[in-house]
């Protein structure tokens, strides 16, 4: 018996939004790998545009030039790769090229240009393919996939997010001031929240998950639980034990439910 492929709008989507350093990229990749779904790292698209613009001598103030560059960007994501890799440009891994703080700053400037965002909308929606998509970014639920049945807004306090990014950079041998990182993150938060096109904010129907002090495995598990509620067909991919609510067990002893279990809103 053959089945008719679903139209694109019927393909399930999990939209994970949040500020930089909240862990949304790591969580999205883990969820996509677990479900066997496609992955979209929208932030990487903007970073790739910024990096490519530098290589091609295109000014970050040249909106039309950047929009043309964005519309022809050959980018893809490998959700089966390690969590720190799998960002492909023209089929070649470009992860290291786009993970610098300079690339992040360029991405923030590029993302504020309406022509660039418009050029990337169709590209991002094109990642919506069977069997499903996990998309992370800053406007996945509000702008790119407003019909997603599961929208998650993942956040953490700025000090926690700066520490995470600081540790990532240290592991790569990059020496940067923690205080400077925290200041830069706070400034980017303001810029992303105040931009006129697709500002960073939680959708009214998003589930808020504060990951401050929470290990990534617990965050991934909660997103998977919500996914099983939103898309019952994914439940068979997870063991029954993952649906046991509370109390949580760690190291053989029970513990109180973490803060996100108590404060996450439906």
pLDDT digits (tens, 9 = 90+) for 165-210: 888 888 878 888 899 888 888 888 888 888 777 788 899 999 999 9
pLDDT top residue among 92 and 204: 204
Q: Reduced to 3 states, what is the DSSP secondary structure of residue 62?
A: coil
260 and 211 Cβ atoms separated by less than 8 Å: yes
Look at residue 106 and tell me if it is in a domain: yes
**Cα–Cα dist 182/61, whole Å:** 26
Look at residue 63 and tell me if it is in a domain: yes
Write b or e for each residue in 32-44: b if 16 or more Cβ atoms lie within 10 A of its Cβ, otherwise e: bbbbebbbbbbbb
% the chain with pLDDT above 90: 44
pLDDT digits (tens, 9 = 90+) for 61-91: 999 999 999 998 888 887 765 555 678 877 7
pLDDT top residue among 202 and 6: 202
The CATH code of the domain that includes 144 is: 3.40.50.300
pLDDT at 17 exceeding the cut of 50? yes
Look at residue 263 and tell me if it is in a domain: no
pLDDT digits (tens, 9 = 90+) for 107-150: 888 988 999 999 999 889 999 999 999 999 989 999 999 999 99
Q: Considering its fold, how many domains does the chain have in total?
A: 1
Domain that holds residue 152: 9-238
Neighbour count for residue 9 (Cβ, 10 Å): 10
Query: Residue 236 — pLDDT band, cuts 50, 70, 90?
Result: low
* pLDDT recorded at residue 238: 58
Look at residue 258 and tell me if it is in a domain: no
* pLDDT recorded at residue 237: 61
39 and 133 Cβ atoms separated by less than 8 Å: yes
Distance of CA 127 to the CA centre of its chain: 14
Q: What is the DSSP letter of 90?
A: T
Look at residue 255 and tell me if it is in a domain: no
Q: How many helices (H) and strands (E) does the chain have?
A: 10, 10
* pLDDT recorded at residue 84: 58
Closest by CA position to 102, among listed 47, 63, 59 = 47
Look at residue 125 and tell me if it is in a domain: yes
* Token pair of 92 as six digits: 């070649």
**Cα–Cα dist 216/42, whole Å:** 20
pLDDT at 234 exceeding the cut of 90? no
Look at residue 253 and tell me if it is in a domain: no
% the chain with pLDDT above 70: 82
* Element (DSSP H or E) covering residue 253: strand 253-255
């Amino acid at each position: 018996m053959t089945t008719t492929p679903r139209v694109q709008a019927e393909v399930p989507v999990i939209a994970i939004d949040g500020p930089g350093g909240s862990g949304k990229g790591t969580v999205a990749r883990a969820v996509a790998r677990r479900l066997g779904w496609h992955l979209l790292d929208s932030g990487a698209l903007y970073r790739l545009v910024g990096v490519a613009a530098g290589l091609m001598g295109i000014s970050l103030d040249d909106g039309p030039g950047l929009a043309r560059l964005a519309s022809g960007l050959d980018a893809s994501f490998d959700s089966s790769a390690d969590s720190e890799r799998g960002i492909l440009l023209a089929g070649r891994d470009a992860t290291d090229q786009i993970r610098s703080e300079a690339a992040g700053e360029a991405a923030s400037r590029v993302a504020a240009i309406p022509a660039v965002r418009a050029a990337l909308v169709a590209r991002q929606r094109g990642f919506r393919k069977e069997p499903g998509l996990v998309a992370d970014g800053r406007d996945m639920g509000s702008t790119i996939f407003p019909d997603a049945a599961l929208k998650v807004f993942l956040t953490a306090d700025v000090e926690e997010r700066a520490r995470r990014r600081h540790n990532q950079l240290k592991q790569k041998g990059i020496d940067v001031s923690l205080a400077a990182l925290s200041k830069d993150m706070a400034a980017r938060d303001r810029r992303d929240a105040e931009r006129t096109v697709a500002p960073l904010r939680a959708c009214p129907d998003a589930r808020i998950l504060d990951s401050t002090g929470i290990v990534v495995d617990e965050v991934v598990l909660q997103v998977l639980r919500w996914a099983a509620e939103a898309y019952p067909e994914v439940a068979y991919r997870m063991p029954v034990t993952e649906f046991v609510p509370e109390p949580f067990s760690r190291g053989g002893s029970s513990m109180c439910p973490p803060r996100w279990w108590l404060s996450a809103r439906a």
